[in-house]
Amino acid sequence: MVNMANNQFPQTHRRPRRHQRRYVLRGILVVLILIVFTGTVAGLVGYHHGKHQAELASNKSAVRTALAYQKKLTNLRMATHVPKLATYFQTRLAELAVRANYVGVAQIYYDHHLVASWQSGYANRQSNQLNTAATGYEINSLQKGMTGTLLMNQVALGKVNLSDRLSQFYPNVPHSDQITLRQMLNMTSGLSTPRGYNDQRVQSDQEVIQNAIAKTRFIVKQYNEWSYQPINYILLAGITEKVSGKSYAELFKTQIIDKLKLKQTHFSYELPTNYLHATGYNFTTKASPQTAYAQPLGVVTAQKHSELGTGQVYMTAADLYHVESGMLDGTLMTTAARNELFVDGSQSHYGGGYYNYATYKGVNGAGSGFQSRVHISPDGKNAMVLLTNHPANFLNLDKLSNTIDGLLF
């Protein structure tokens, strides 16, 4: 009995001690896990908080920088000190152009003064000709506003009215008896032609127009709705010829080139041999410095003639500014004619070759490896001019021009 009791007593005593040790170890493990978990969570919270604070600080810094630039610009404008203003604009334009890898010529005008100019890249890589401020570029659709100007000069002479019907001049155009010249200026005529060009024969202006009319269609759902169709301005160019008795080229030379004494503006089909003009290039999205200029683009002479009033002219940036400014400040047409030409005719704000916005007027051109853009104040004093032989799929002009808009308008 005693032995049995002695054998059992220690066993009943040891079992609770093992349980106690096990509980203690489990408790320690739980505490360690909680410490590690708490530390990890605290670390993550601290990391994200620090990141958020850094982002806030970065955003605040960007805002402060933007406000500082704007304040400096405001002070310069109030002082009307052109040399200091030029230094400011030149610095900012250089920063923006480098950041955008801009190729071509970019200029800023303030109060009719050139205050900044930037040029980079090749006008012609094959002949190692660099882009310069004296380089001429194909302006493409920027010519449409000039065609509108030539038309308005005929309106001022009483030879034609914007309320006139197209049928008075080209009755074989579909539904021409329903279409006014005002609608054509605003691209709300409903007329449409297929894109592309394959004719190799040089044609007279009226032949170009008749061939275009043969392809023209009237789209009912586009009538009184904006649709960008060059046929409108080709026909308007033809109308200026009919009512003036002179060719479009003659009107352009006497009423624009000669009137402004332009020296670097020429029609694409008759460029002087000594004229420093750019070649358009087909840049690819992943182009490298070694391959960027591998694909020069060209246009046959017949096509240059076919783009009557809509894309036949080469100009330097300076010449282009003087023309765009002259259209708005009363130099190239009367103030009354200007006010009648640039009437917003749709939700696109397009009228007379310009997009007419509250603080500036904008105009764009693109084709054959060229892009062109002008944003200009309604009085013609302040402007941004961008001319490049980059195509649209490689260079984002929107980002660059939007930033410059913030400085100018």
Q: pLDDT by residue for the chain (409 residues), tens digit each?
A: 434 444 443 444 444 555 556 665 666 666 666 666 666 655 555 555 554 554 445 445 544 554 555 555 555 554 555 568 889 999 999 999 988 888 899 999 999 999 999 999 999 999 999 999 999 999 999 999 999 999 999 999 999 999 999 999 999 999 999 999 999 999 999 999 987 766 788 999 999 999 999 999 999 999 999 999 999 999 999 999 999 999 999 999 999 999 999 999 999 999 999 999 999 998 665 656 566 788 899 889 999 999 999 999 999 999 999 999 999 999 999 999 999 999 988 889 999 999 999 999 999 999 888 999 999 999 999 999 999 997 655 667 888 999 999 989 9
Instruction: Supply 219's token pair.
Output: 């789209």
Phi, psi (5° rounding) for residue 249? -60, -40
Residues 97-129: tens digit of each pLDDT: 988 888 899 999 999 999 999 999 999 999 999
What residues contact 355, with CB distance under 8 A and at least 6 apart?
A: 348, 349, 361, 362, 363
For the chain, give me the number of helices (H) and strands (E)? 12, 16
Q: Do β-strands 129-130 and 122-124 pair in parallel, antiparallel, or remain unpaired?
A: antiparallel
pLDDT of residue 3: 42
Pick from 154, 83, 137, 76: nearest CA to 115: 83
Q: How high is the pLDDT of residue 215?
A: 95
User: Residue 61 contacts by C-beta under 8 Å, 6 or more apart in sequence?
Assistant: none
Q: Class for domain 83-408, per CATH?
A: alpha beta
C-beta separation of 205 from 241 below 8 A: yes
pLDDT per residue over 209-235, tens digit each?
A: 999 999 999 999 999 999 999 999 999
Tokens encoding 185:
């200026």
pTM above threshold 0.75: yes
